[in-house]
């Protein structure tokens, strides 16, 4: 049992099946860079407080860098007996430096070490996803810009509702992604507190300097309660929750664009480069990327659920259950990163089909609400105005008229004395769009302001 760093009190070796069951090296090896970073900071802290000499510290820091390089080069043996990434790196250091390597674990435990590693990893991953989201926002803004002047039918309940300007539509996603970035930034802020030095659960009698380690690793502060540190995975859950909303936003968007690229809608042209075909039906061009973005949201929701259930009912402090945090955390980040990247490719390549959209813009009485508001502005109570226009829509349907504009002056006047010929100026989607006024609405001037604001904000 001498080979195990915890083997001192054991007489018999570990059952192979237990080693296989308890290992995490198969998945936590991807933490190696952050484990090295954390250990180097820890060594510098030990030197700072006089527990290592300068030379010893330098040897440890250099040794760890060399181990990192070997892992990067694929020249590093991973073995089951060494359980996890922390023990692999420490063992390799000891192989190289002898007793000096055996000093590194002074004043820390794998419990605060793993938490530090995972936080460092998640911090980088948050920054990568944030960069991806910014890139995607820019793609949406550019799309808003190149589709200016196009009017779309806006939907509620997937039924035609009111007209909206195309840029207004694209910018709606920019807003959602902005909130996603805000949530990730919030998670990052709360995450950025140093666990190292909490040791196993109770702290340590070694005179460590946690503030020093925090500065070395770019943490904003030091976690104040060692028991809390040892059991805390809030940061993982919070980040994955933020990722889940990203995934949900992308899934809704993907669903819409899948619909829009059907024959039935025909609103959207997807470039060949992002579509795939069918092995049996030669004519097919399928939006698989969008379908997979929609589908993969399931994995992210699954990861969040796994993490939530993982910590349910755990007593203080560290429990081995927590080793299972990494798989859902890694998978959520990997999945969302890939989806965000591909979403940007789709947004950059897809174009609205203005002719197909215009052809059917007269369907659905998209101007009915504008006409109702015209009555309200003349003093008709909203409920009454709603009824009047509702009856006109009913009349159109009975007479087989597609548009309110197809009604005669007599029909309008009969519905309300306030619907004179001037009301015609409000009919049709173009007029309806011009009638909008409120802040945040699809009024052309408002949409232009939105677009300008985003271009400035995102540096476009
Ligand atoms: N591989 C472990 C994990 O990921 C490291 C911590 C082990 N701590 C312990 N007390 N066994 O959680």
pLDDT tens digit string along 53-91? 999 999 999 999 999 999 999 999 999 999 999 999 999
| Percent above pLDDT 70 for the chain | 100
Gap between the Cα atoms of 219 and 376, Å rounded: 57
Output the CA–CA distances (angstroms, integers) from residue 158 to 53, 104, 196, 421, in the order listed. 70, 61, 52, 32
- Which of helix, strand or coil describes residue 101? helix
- pLDDT band of residue 256 (cuts 50, 70, 90) is very high
- The Cβ of residue 82 has, within 10 Å, a number of other Cβ atoms equal to 21
User: Residue 48: what pLDDT?
Assistant: 98
Is 375:389 a contact under the CB 8 Å cutoff?
A: yes
C-alpha of residue 444 to centroid of ligand 1, in Å: 58
> What's the gap between Cα 449 and its chain centre?
27
Average pLDDT taken over every residue of the chain? 97
4-26 burial, b for 16+ CB within 10 Å, e for fewer? bbeeeeeeeebeeeebeeebbbe
278 catalytic residue (yes or no): yes
Gap between the Cα atoms of 372 and 385, Å rounded: 5
Gap between the Cα atoms of 58 and 339, Å rounded: 42
Cα-Cα end-to-end distance for the chain: 61
The residue-averaged pLDDT of 232-250 equals 98
270: left (phi over 0), alpha (psi -120 to 50) or beta: beta
Most informative mutation of 320, 325, 327, 328 for ligand 1 (most atoms within 8 A of CB)? 320
Ligand 1 atom 3, closest CA:
323
- pLDDT band of residue 119 (cuts 50, 70, 90) is very high
User: Residue 5: what pLDDT?
Assistant: 86
- Which of helix, strand or coil describes residue 194? strand
Ligand 1 atom 4, closest CA:
323
C-alpha of residue 113 to centroid of ligand 1, in Å: 9
DSSP-assigned letter for residue 320: G
C-alpha of residue 343 to centroid of ligand 1, in Å: 36
The residue-averaged pLDDT of 291-313 equals 98
Gap between the Cα atoms of 403 and 212, Å rounded: 72
pLDDT over threshold 60, residue 222: yes
> What's the gap between Cα 105 and its chain centre?
36
Is 80:18 a contact under the CB 8 Å cutoff?
A: no
C-alpha of residue 114 to centroid of ligand 1, in Å: 7
User: Residue 2: what pLDDT?
Assistant: 53
Radius of gyration of the chain (CA): 30
Ligand 1 atom 11, closest CA:
320
User: Residue 157: what pLDDT?
Assistant: 98
> What's the gap between Cα 454 and its chain centre?
19
143 catalytic residue (yes or no): no
* Ligand 1 atom with least separation from CA of 84: 1
HSE at residue 460, side-chain half, CA atoms within 13 A, is: 19
pLDDT over threshold 90, residue 191: yes
Gap between the Cα atoms of 384 and 379, Å rounded: 10
DSSP-assigned letter for residue 9: G
Please identify which of the residues 3, 26, 65, 278 carries the catalytic annotation: 278
Ligand 1 atom 12, closest CA:
323
User: Residue 3: what pLDDT?
Assistant: 74
Lining ligand 1 with CB less than 6 A are: 24, 28, 84, 110-111, 114, 318, 320, 322-323
Most informative mutation of 87, 114, 202, 324 for ligand 1 (most atoms within 8 A of CB)? 114
The residue-averaged pLDDT of 264-276 equals 95
Most informative mutation of 10, 111, 196, 330 for ligand 1 (most atoms within 8 A of CB)? 111
pLDDT over threshold 90, residue 1: no
- Which of helix, strand or coil describes residue 63? helix
- pLDDT band of residue 4 (cuts 50, 70, 90) is confident
pLDDT in tens, 142-180: 999 999 999 999 999 999 999 999 999 999 999 999 999
């Amino acid at each position: 049992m001498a080979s195990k760093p915890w083997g001192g009190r054991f007489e018999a070796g570990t059952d192979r099946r237990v080693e296989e069951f308890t290992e995490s090296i198969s998945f936590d090896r991807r933490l190696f860079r952050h484990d090295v970073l954390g250990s180097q900071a820890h060594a510098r802290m030990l030197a700072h407080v006089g527990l290592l000499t300068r030379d010893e510290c330098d040897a440890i820091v250099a040794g760890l860098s060399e181990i990192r390089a070997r892992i990067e080069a694929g020249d590093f043996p991973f073995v089951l007996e060494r359980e996890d990434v922390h023990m692999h790196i420490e063992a390799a250091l000891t192989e190289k430096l002898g007793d000096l390597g055996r000093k590194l674990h002074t004043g820390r435990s794998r419990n605060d070490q793993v938490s530090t590693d995972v936080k460092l990893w998640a911090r980088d991953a948050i920054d990568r996803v944030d960069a991806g989201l910014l890139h995607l926002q820019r793609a949406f803004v550019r799309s808003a810009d190149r589709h200016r002047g196009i009017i779309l039918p806006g939907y509620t309940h997937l039924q035609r509702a009111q007209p909206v300007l195309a840029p207004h539509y694209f910018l709606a996603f920019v807003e959602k992604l902005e909130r996603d970035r805000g949530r990730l930034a919030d998670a990052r802020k709360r995450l950025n507190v140093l666990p190292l030095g909490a040791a196993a659960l109770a702290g340590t009698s070694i005179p460590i300097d946690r503030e020093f380690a925090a500065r070395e690793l770019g943490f904003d502060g030091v976690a104040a309660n060692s028991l809390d540190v040892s059991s805390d995975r809030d940061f993982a859950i919070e980040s994955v929750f933020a990722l889940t909303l990203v995934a949900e936003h992308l899934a809704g968007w993907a669903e819409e664009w899948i619909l829009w690229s059907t024959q039935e809608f025909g609103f959207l042209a997807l470039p060949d480069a992002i579509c795939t075909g069918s092995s049996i039906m030669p004519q097919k061009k399928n939006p698989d990327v969008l379908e997979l973005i929609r589908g993969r949201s399931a994995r992210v929701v699954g990861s969040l659920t796994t993490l939530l259930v993982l910590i349910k009912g755990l007593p203080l402090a560290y429990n081995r259950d927590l080793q299972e945090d990494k798989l859902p955390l890694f998978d959520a980040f990997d999945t969302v990163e890939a989806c965000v990247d591909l979403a940007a490719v789709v947004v950059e390549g897809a174009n609205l089909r203005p002719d197909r959209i215009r052809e059917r813009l007269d369907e659905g009485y998209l101007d009915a609400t504008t006409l109702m508001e015209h009555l309200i502005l003349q003093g008709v109570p909203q409920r009454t105005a709603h009824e009047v226009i509702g009856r006109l829509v009913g009349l159109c349907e009975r007479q087989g008229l597609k548009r309110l504009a197809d009604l005669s002056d007599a029909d309008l006047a009969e519905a309300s004395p306030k619907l004179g010929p001037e009301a015609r100026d409000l009919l049709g989607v173009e007029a309806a769009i011009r009638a909008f006024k409120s802040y945040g609405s699809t009024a052309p001037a408002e949409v232009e302001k939105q677009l300008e604001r985003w271009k400035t904000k995102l540096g476009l």
